[in-house]
Structure formats: structure tokens, C-alpha cells
């Protein structure tokens, strides 16, 4: 019994965590929904039907349980980048690809008039998800601690890791639904911020995340109210920027892309 408990604890500490938990990803999708242009909104509706961006944002993580080789091997590296310096370089991408190579691939699919509806739907869901991922600072890691997964901490006394704290614990600690949280954040986004954050260059998002990542490693691994208070505004800022940029990116993608053919079926 004691051995099984230790194994379970070890897995809880070291297992890879998702980039933003479901609540975080839904928040970014909900914010993006409010910032879409009319053209982008129409294309999203053609591809996803009644599924909104908040729902689409978690889909690539939901599918990690699918045993198919595509999800277990090929798609696994597409949720993060490993950056040796302060700026992403194409040489940073491994042969298996990363979030940047996947974003480029799926963008090309969305803009390809010959791509099938199914391929475009897959591409859209991944784009929404990847942009959210790249705004989580520990998904832009230096390659030395598995994006904080190898950094053991306690969160209000419970064993976990730093990556998990940033994925979900800091967000869940607010005790808000994703829609409440997204509404609160959306109300605080100013027109000036929308203009300033209207950046579709992912290297900018990564550079911001790297700069933040360097400041979030705690001196004391026992994390609670002090750590939450110290980084709450930073979490909110990354969620808001991700939402605005998902919309900005999709507005750009659909601006000159051929319209999707056919309607999505739920």
C-alpha cells in the first residue's frame, strides 16, 4: 500500500501537465470570441457549427486520451517550445516539431482552399489551443526542467509541481467558472490594449513568456497566498493577451483565405 501511494505521488509531481488547464483555455477562447471580426466569425461558424472557441480551445488536450498514434506521438510535442536563448529560432524546433511548427502547418491548412472541412476543423482547434499554450510561460521552457514539471512544490500544503501551479492551480484558486473569469477579464481590457496586443507574430508572444518565466521560480517551494497574490495579475495578463491574440490571428488568417465550404455538423 505504501509503495502504491509513493508511486501515485511521484506521478502527480512529475507527469506532464497541460498548458493552461481547461478553465484557462476556455477563458482565452471566450475572450477571443468577443474580438473576432465578422469575416472570421462566419468562417469559425462554418467550421465549428455551434461549438464556440471556448469549447474548441480544450479539444487538443481532451484528445490526449485517444490511444491513436497521432495523438500519443505525433501531436504530443505541439503544445510547447523549447528555447535555448531569449528568442525562438527555427533551429530550436526538434525533428518531431513543436508548437511553432504546428502553428505554421495548421495556418497553411486553414488558408488552403483545397483542404477538407475535417482538416480545417482540426487546424482551427489546434490554432486556438496553441496560441493559448504559448502564452503560458512554462510552455516556453529552456529545456532543463521539462517546463517546470520537474520542479517540485507544494500548493497550500499539497504536493505538485510548478507547471501544474501555472496551468491550473493559480486559476482555480480564484473559484470562478470560466465564463465568470472571462467576463471579468474582458471588461478590464481597454481599447488601447486591444490595439497594442494586436500582434500576430508568435515570436513576440514567446519572448514575453520567456521574460515572465524567468521571474516565477520560487525561492521557497511551499506556495500559498503570497505566491498567488504575487503572480495573479501576471496570470490575468497572459490570459487576456492570449484571448486578444487568438482573435487577431484568426482575423488575419481568414482575411484572405478562401472561405470554408459546407457547414459543420454537430
Q: What per-residue confidence (pLDDT) applies to 95?
A: 93
pLDDT at residue 162 above 50? yes
Q: What share of the chain in percent tops pLDDT 90?
A: 86
Strand partners, 159: 154
How does residue 256 score in pLDDT terms, banded at 50, 70 and 90? confident
Q: What per-residue confidence (pLDDT) applies to 178?
A: 97
pTM over 0.85: yes
Fill in the DSSP letter of residue 90: G
Please state the rounded mean pLDDT for residues 159-187.
Answer: 97
pLDDT at residue 71 above 60? yes
- Please give the C-alpha separations between residue 130 and each of 20, 27, 102, 145, 230, in angstroms, as whole numbers: 11, 14, 8, 21, 26
Q: Which CATH superfamily is domain 2-256 in?
A: P1 Nuclease (1.10.575.10)
Please state the rounded mean pLDDT for residues 93-103.
Answer: 95
The average confidence (pLDDT) of the chain is 90
Fill in the DSSP letter of residue 174: T
pLDDT at residue 198 above 70? yes
CB 231 within 8 A of CB 170: yes
Q: What share of the chain in percent tops pLDDT 70?
A: 89
pLDDT at residue 258 above 80? no
Please state the φ and ψ torsions of residue 223, each to the nearest 5 degrees.
-100, 140
Complete DSSP assignment for 96-148: T--HHHHHHHHHHHHT-TTS-HHHHHHHHHHHHHHHHHHTSGGGEE-SSSTTT
Kindly give the residue spans of alpha helices, DSSP state H, lying in the chain.
2-14, 22-35, 38-48, 53-56, 59-62, 69, 99-110, 117-134, 162-164, 170-172, 178-188, 191-196, 202-213, 225-256
Query: At 231, is the secondary structure helix, strand, or coil?
Result: helix
Please state the rounded mean pLDDT for residues 238-246.
Answer: 98
Count CB atoms within 10 A of the CB of residue 15. Answer: 11
Fill in the DSSP letter of residue 220: S
pLDDT at residue 63 above 90? yes
pLDDT digits (tens, 9 = 90+) for 101-144: 999 999 999 999 999 999 999 999 999 999 999 999 999 999 89
The rounded distance, in Å, linking the Cα atoms of 220 and 37 is 45
Q: What per-residue confidence (pLDDT) applies to 173?
A: 94
pLDDT digits (tens, 9 = 90+) for 9-59: 333 333 444 568 999 999 999 999 999 999 999 999 999 999 999 999 999
- Please give the C-alpha separations between residue 229 and each of 102, 177, 211, 261, in angstroms, as whole numbers: 34, 19, 19, 48
Amino acid at each position: 500500500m505504501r509503495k502504491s501511494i509513493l508511486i501515485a505521488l511521484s506521478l502527480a509531481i512529475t507527469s506532464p501537465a497541460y498548458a493552461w488547464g481547461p478553465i484557462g483555455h476556455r477563458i482565452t477562447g471566450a475572450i477571443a470570441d468577443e474580438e473576432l471580426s465578422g469575416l472570421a466569425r462566419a468562417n469559425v461558424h462554418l467550421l465549428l457549427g455551434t461549438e464556440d472557441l471556448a469549447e474548441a480551445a480544450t479539444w487538443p488536450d481532451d484528445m490526449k486520451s485517444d490511444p491513436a498514434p497521432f495523438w500519443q506521438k505525433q501531436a504530443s510535442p505541439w503544445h510547447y517550445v523549447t528555447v535555448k536563448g531569449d528568442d525562438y529560432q527555427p533551429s530550436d524546433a526538434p525533428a518531431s516539431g513543436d508548437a511553432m511548427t504546428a502553428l505554421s502547418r495548421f495556418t497553411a491548412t486553414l488558408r488552403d482552399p483545397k483542404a477538407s472541412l475535417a482538416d480545417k476543423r482540426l487546424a482551427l482547434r489546434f490554432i486556438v489551443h496553441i496560441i493559448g499554450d504559448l502564452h503560458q510561460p512554462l510552455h516556453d521552457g529552456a529545456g532543463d526542467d521539462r517546463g517546470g514539471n520537474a520542479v517540485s512544490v507544494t500548493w497550500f500544503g499539497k504536493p505538485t509541481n510548478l507547471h501544474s501551479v501555472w496551468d491550473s492551480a493559480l486559476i482555480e484558486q480564484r473559484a470562478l467558472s470560466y465564463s465568470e473569469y472571462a467576463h471579468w477579464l474582458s471588461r478590464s481590457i481597454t481599447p488601447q490594449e486591444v490595439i497594442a496586443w494586436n500582434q500576430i507574430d508568435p515570436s513576440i508572444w514567446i519572448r514575453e513568456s520567456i521574460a515572465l518565466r524567468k521571474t516565477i521560480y520560487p525561492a521557497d517551494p511551499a506556495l500559498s497566498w503570497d505566491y498567488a497574490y504575487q503572480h495573479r495579475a501576471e496570470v490575468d495578463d497572459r490570459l487576456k493577451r492570449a484571448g486578444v491574440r487568438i482573435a487577431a490571428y484568426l482575423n488575419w488568417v481568414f482575411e484572405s483565405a478562401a472561405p470554408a465550404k459546407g457547414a459543420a455538423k454537430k
